Amino acid sequence: EVQLVESGGGLVQPGGSLRLSCAASGFTFGSYDMSWVRQAPGKGPEWVSTINSGGGSTYYTYSVKGRFTISRDNAKNTLYLQMNSLKPEDTAVYYCATPLQGRVGVPASLGQYDYWGQGTQVTVSS
User: What are the tens digits of pLDDT across the range 35-71?
Assistant: 999 999 999 999 999 999 999 999 999 999 999 999 9
Kindly report the backbone phi and psi dihedral angles of residue 36, in degrees, each rounded to the nearest multiple of 5, phi listed first.
Answer: -110, 135
User: What are the tens digits of pLDDT across the range 36-46?
Assistant: 999 999 999 99
Per-residue confidence band for 74, with pLDDT thresholds at 50, 70 and 90? very high
